[in-house]
Amino acid sequence: MTGRARARSRGRARGQETAAPGVTPFQETAREAPPSEGELVGRGRQRTAPGAVSSEAVIQISAGFQQVKIGERGGRRRDFHDAGINTRQAMEHVRESKSGFSGSPIELKANFFKILSRPQWVLYQYHVDFKPVMESRRLRSALMYQHEETLGKARTFDGALLFLPHKLHNTTVLYSETRMGEKVQITVTLTNELPPTSPVCLQFYNIIFRRVLRMLNMQQIGRHYYNPTDPLNIPQHRLTIWPGFTSTILQYESNIMLCTDVSHKVLRSETVLSFMMGLRQQSGDQRFPEACTKELVGLIVLTKYNNKTYRIDDIAWDHTPNNTFKRGDSEISFKDYYKAQYGLDITDGNQVLLISHMKKIGPSGGPPQGPAMLVPEFCYLTGLTDKMRADFNIMKDLSTHTRLTPEQREGRLNRFVGNIHQNTEAQTELNTWGLNFDNKLLSLTGRVLPSERIVQGSRTYNPWQADWSKEMRGIPLISCRPLENWLMFFTRRNNDVAQALLQTLNKVSTPLGIRMQRAIICVGFLPKVVVVLPSNRKDKYDSVKKYLCVDCPTPSQCVVARTLCKQQALMTVATKIALQINCKMGGELWSVEIPLKQLMIVGIDCYHDTAAGKRSIGALVASLNQGMSRWFSKCVLQNRGQEIMDGLKVALQGALKAWLKHNNCLPSRIIVYRDGVGDGMLQSVVNYEVPQIMEPKLTLVVVKKRISSRFFARIDGKLTNPPPGTCIDTEVTRPEWYDFFIVSQAVRMGSVSPTHYNVVYDSSGLKPDHMQRLTYKLCHMYYNWQGIIRVPAPCQYAHKLAFLVGQSIHREPNMNLDDFLYYL
């Protein structure tokens, strides 16, 4: 599912709809970033010949992106593309080239379309002054409308900045009159000529593109646009899926391109009220408030009366639609307000209200407005709840609708761009600005990195596929911990399956090299526990893990009885369990060659626990040996507002101590793979986290899985997924970054997602080629999967750890477990 729950409450004000009750309506005032003249191209009087832009300038331009903001309606926005963070120029060894060379070339297609603009295309930026000063931005726009013959049809005006595709005189003075008969002098001064690559132009292309999508009758939800006329329905769960597209126009390595991907929005065709009534029926009056809070808080809702999205932050149990709020000078009840304002009747007068805290800054930079109160009857849920995500049947139904093969995906993208080309209104809009899009997907060349040899004890093998569960059968593991003094718990009803598991475990462990004693009950010291759970009830699992990770530190393995029921699969299941148990006790399974000495690899990820007051859990996993087969793991719990790195710094010190203990020296270089960096958070990683872990030879790589770039390969005349190991470091990367993409895993269904690696800091001088290959090697090292995974193993370990703590334990695990992969 792409874009799941990504539409955090970013509902931006759409026009002049009255603000939600409880929120004082305000006028949006134009906010212009203070000009930082001199250092940035694209600001101030920049009059060099457009078109001839050096690569150096492109980098600078891209870096200046976030300094200037234009918006159709003003207001502040977060920069989701992390533009303007130029990390590459600080790394000397990649300034010239950041490309690798090993592997064999492969022809690829990517979901990018080039932007074509007229030659000599320039965007003219004007500053507009009103005399007397006009406070209202609406009024300012209205006054400008009176001069269409001078300004032309194509224009963008945000209240202070005016953009036109043609040139006026350097200073144009216009006269308008307000409705009140006040005479206003408007001075339009040319301030800038912007080449197509300028950051303002990029932002501008995005605005134009959004207009075009609206012309195609697409609906904006959150950041993306969806087509509501042809929904897919899953009536059993009241789910409606709208197909749509994500789109971004940015300066990529060599061109300005539109990156667009198919996205699906999951909506629910029931109101929050009917959802709540269903919940009350299920959970009973007693447990209803708790269940309700758990299910609803954090979800995004759409309302029946305006085009905004809200995040449910709380439930006002003491409020009903009969409560009043202050509107202007008088008090009005919610019931009367909705009737008067929107002609909407509230049928259930006893429903409790929902609370949404508005993040948006109040008028003229003031404090944020108070919370908005929402009536459940008028709200529709979007996205999936955790409960739904855990429901295999729902996910299966969803994936049949949303998983697209590379060919289907390419078809949809081509049709989308085709629609833009065929829509006359859209073409008129683009033509007035002198812009257009390429009509075919970008072609580029990638490389397939050499395959990795798996080292397992004295034996090595080259996996034929991205999965070596077959190859490793019958080969002893690198190191095994004997399974002694262990316990197995199960209920009376599960006696049969438990006995079967015991027998099979015995059978499979000998060839792997695991010595296994009979399971016995041992009072006092419990080195290892296997628990057979009767069902996959989360609370039972949670309490088992909580006890064995915190109070009584013991490696443990839980198995749901149902997985053991299938006779034919029992061998496979038992093998996996045996491997997993071995890892948890400190055994090593396999390895790959790492041609660097004294190298410590660190993986960091975090998990945001919405239930426990928005607490974050940061997990750090660090390698302890040359073969990357032993790991030190530490978890820190962070309260709201705290930087995750503060705690992780302590964890890293612990990792270094553990390294010293294992190797009698300190690592000579550290490479950190940092996962869990959201859109727009890159700046804080670069500015804050890098200095925190300053080491002489440090590399910090930001790993991103949720990206909209997709790659397709043409193999035997068919468009397929690129093979594992495909690396892309040209064309679609960003000029201001040292970044690359690797497709490491193989998927059976749908299109594979590449992973984006952005090296934001590197003082080790490692060649880009080696950086890429090391990264790919690490994707082989995740012991819970006998194959290549999507991210380097330490990231996946860190993710697993943070998830276990965030979901089940909620406390810091006992430090006796730090040297084990107990969370697998």
Partner 1 sequence: MNTIFTPPLYIQRYEFVIDFVKKNKPKKVVDLGCNDCTLLRKLKFHKEIELLAGLDIDCAVIRAKMYELAPIPTDYLQPGDHPLTIELYQGSVTERDPRTKGFDLVTSIELIEHLQLEDVDRFTEVVFGYMAPVAAIISTPNADFNPLLPGLTGFRHYDHKFEWTKVEFQTWALKVCREFGYVVAFTGVGQIPAQEESIGFCSQIGVFQIDRSGGDAPRLQNNVLYNVVYPSLCDSNIFQRTLVNEVLYWAETLKREWLEEIRFEVENEEVGGEGRTDMGLYREGQSVCVPLVRLCSCPRVQALSGTVQHLTKFLLENSRVQLTNDGTAVVLVDNDDEDLEWDENCDNTGTGPFLVSSVENEDWETELGQ
Of the candidates 507, 603, 487, the residue with the CA atom closest to the CA atom of residue 547: 487
Kindly tell me which of 68 and 273 has the beta carbon lying closer to partner 1.
Answer: 273
What DSSP string runs through 218-270? PEEETTEEE--SS-EEEGGGTEEEEEEEEEEEEE-SSSEEEEEEEEEEEEEEE
C-beta separation of 417 from 111 below 8 A: no
CA distances from 353 to 122, 347, 601, 653, 722 (A): 51, 14, 49, 48, 50
Kindly tell me which of 105 and 365 has the beta carbon lying closer to partner 1.
Answer: 105
What DSSP string runs through 304-350? SSSS-EEE--EEETT--TTSEEEETTEEEEHHHHHHHHH-PPPS-TT
Which 74-103 residues touch partner 1, going by CB under 8 A? 102-103
Which 200-219 residues touch partner 1, going by CB under 8 A? 214, 217, 219
Which stretch in 51-59, 342-350, 516-524, 578-586 sits in contact with partner 1 by CB under 8 A?
Answer: 342-350
Our CA angle for 720, 721, 727, nearest 5°, is 135
Decide: is 499 part of the binding site for partner 1 (CB under 8 A).
no
Whole-number minimum distance, CB 228 to partner 1, in Å?
Answer: 4
Kindly tell me which of 57 and 142 has the beta carbon lying closer to partner 1.
Answer: 142
Residue written as token pair 């934001």 = 760
Decide: is 467 part of the binding site for partner 1 (CB under 8 A).
yes
- Write down the catalytic residue from 313, 438, 643, 812: 643
Whole-number minimum distance, CB 342 to partner 1, in Å?
Answer: 5
Decide: is 712 part of the binding site for partner 1 (CB under 8 A).
no
Decide: is 221 part of the binding site for partner 1 (CB under 8 A).
yes
Which 101-130 residues touch partner 1, going by CB under 8 A? 102-104
Decide: is 55 part of the binding site for partner 1 (CB under 8 A).
no
Which 597-656 residues touch partner 1, going by CB under 8 A? 597
Decide: is 450 part of the binding site for partner 1 (CB under 8 A).
yes
Whole-number minimum distance, CB 533 to partner 1, in Å?
Answer: 13
Which 171-200 residues touch partner 1, going by CB under 8 A? 177-181
ω into residue 50 within 30 of 0, thus cis?
no
Whole-number minimum distance, CB 816 to partner 1, in Å?
Answer: 28
Which 224-283 residues touch partner 1, going by CB under 8 A? 226, 228-229, 231, 233, 235-236, 238, 240, 267-269, 271
Return the residue of 466, 589, 719, 821 that touches partner 1, per CB under 8 A. 466
C-beta separation of 787 from 468 below 8 A: yes
Whole-number minimum distance, CB 655 to partner 1, in Å?
Answer: 22
Kindly tell me which of 255 and 563 has the beta carbon lying closer to partner 1.
Answer: 563
Kindly tell me which of 104 and 692 has the beta carbon lying closer to partner 1.
Answer: 104
Decide: is 577 part of the binding site for partner 1 (CB under 8 A).
no
- Write down the catalytic residue from 81, 264, 319, 799: 799
C-beta separation of 550 from 811 below 8 A: yes
**Cα(741)–Cα(711) distance, integer angstroms:** 10
Kindly tell me which of 318 and 329 has the beta carbon lying closer to partner 1.
Answer: 329
Decide: is 307 part of the binding site for partner 1 (CB under 8 A).
yes
C-beta separation of 358 from 23 below 8 A: yes
Whole-number minimum distance, CB 740 to partner 1, in Å?
Answer: 17
Decide: is 331 part of the binding site for partner 1 (CB under 8 A).
no
Instruction: Give the binding-site size for partner 1 (rule: CB under 8 A).
Output: 91
Return the residue of 34, 343, 367, 717 that touches partner 1, per CB under 8 A. 343
CA quadruple 213, 710, 433, 143: dihedral sign:
positive
- Write down the catalytic residue from 377, 605, 729, 818: 605
- Write down the catalytic residue from 28, 295, 452, 675: 675
* Tokens matching residue 154: 């194509």
Decide: is 696 part of the binding site for partner 1 (CB under 8 A).
no
C-beta separation of 744 from 790 below 8 A: yes
Return the residue of 355, 417, 788, 817 that touches partner 1, per CB under 8 A. 788
* Tokens matching residue 249: 């126009």
CA dihedral (331, 334, 339, 340) in degrees, to 10, reads 30
Decide: is 336 part of the binding site for partner 1 (CB under 8 A).
no
Which 125-154 residues touch partner 1, going by CB under 8 A? 141-142, 145, 148, 153
Whole-number minimum distance, CB 59 to partner 1, in Å?
Answer: 26
CA dihedral (346, 350, 354, 355) in degrees, to 10, reads 110
Has 643 been annotated as catalytic? Answer: yes
Return the residue of 67, 625, 663, 720 that touches partner 1, per CB under 8 A. 720
CA distances from 82 to 270, 360, 683 (A): 36, 20, 7
Which 721-750 residues touch partner 1, going by CB under 8 A? 721, 723-725, 745-749
Decide: is 306 part of the binding site for partner 1 (CB under 8 A).
yes
Decide: is 492 part of the binding site for partner 1 (CB under 8 A).
no
**Cα(488)–Cα(526) distance, integer angstroms:** 11
Residue written as token pair 């993986």 = 603
Kindly tell me which of 101 and 317 has the beta carbon lying closer to partner 1.
Answer: 101
Length reported for the chain:
824
C-beta separation of 640 from 675 below 8 A: no
Decide: is 429 part of the binding site for partner 1 (CB under 8 A).
no
Decide: is 8 part of the binding site for partner 1 (CB under 8 A).
no
**Cα(209)–Cα(155) distance, integer angstroms:** 14
Decide: is 360 part of the binding site for partner 1 (CB under 8 A).
no
C-beta separation of 201 from 118 below 8 A: no
Our CA angle for 556, 569, 499, nearest 5°, is 55
Whole-number minimum distance, CB 104 to partner 1, in Å?
Answer: 5
Return the residue of 34, 38, 119, 328 that touches partner 1, per CB under 8 A. 328
Decide: is 9 part of the binding site for partner 1 (CB under 8 A).
no
C-beta separation of 597 from 747 below 8 A: no
**Cα(587)–Cα(580) distance, integer angstroms:** 9
Return the residue of 451, 554, 575, 708 that touches partner 1, per CB under 8 A. 451
**Cα(149)–Cα(624) distance, integer angstroms:** 72
Strand, coil or helix: 112: strand
Decide: is 755 part of the binding site for partner 1 (CB under 8 A).
no
- 483 forms bridges with which residues in the sheet? 516
Whole-number minimum distance, CB 62 to partner 1, in Å?
Answer: 30
Whole-number minimum distance, CB 813 to partner 1, in Å?
Answer: 22
Return the residue of 166, 387, 440, 562 that touches partner 1, per CB under 8 A. 562
Our CA angle for 274, 275, 280, nearest 5°, is 95
Has 675 been annotated as catalytic? Answer: yes
Decide: is 408 part of the binding site for partner 1 (CB under 8 A).
no
**Cα(531)–Cα(551) distance, integer angstroms:** 17
**x-or-dash pattern for partner 1, window 10-29, by CB under 8 A?**
----xxxx------------
Decide: is 303 part of the binding site for partner 1 (CB under 8 A).
yes
- Alpha helices of 136-241 — where are they, by DSSP H? 137-145, 148-151, 199-215
Kindly tell me which of 405 and 814 has the beta carbon lying closer to partner 1.
Answer: 405
Decide: is 658 part of the binding site for partner 1 (CB under 8 A).
no
Return the residue of 41, 110, 789, 798 that touches partner 1, per CB under 8 A. 789
**Cα(334)–Cα(345) distance, integer angstroms:** 10
Of the candidates 392, 333, 452, 313, the residue with the CA atom closest to the CA atom of residue 778: 452
Has 799 been annotated as catalytic? Answer: yes
**Cα(701)–Cα(704) distance, integer angstroms:** 10
Decide: is 541 part of the binding site for partner 1 (CB under 8 A).
no
CA quadruple 766, 772, 776, 777: dihedral sign:
negative
Which stretch in 407-415, 457-465, 488-496, 647-655 sits in contact with partner 1 by CB under 8 A?
Answer: 457-465
Active-site residue numbers?
605, 643, 675, 799
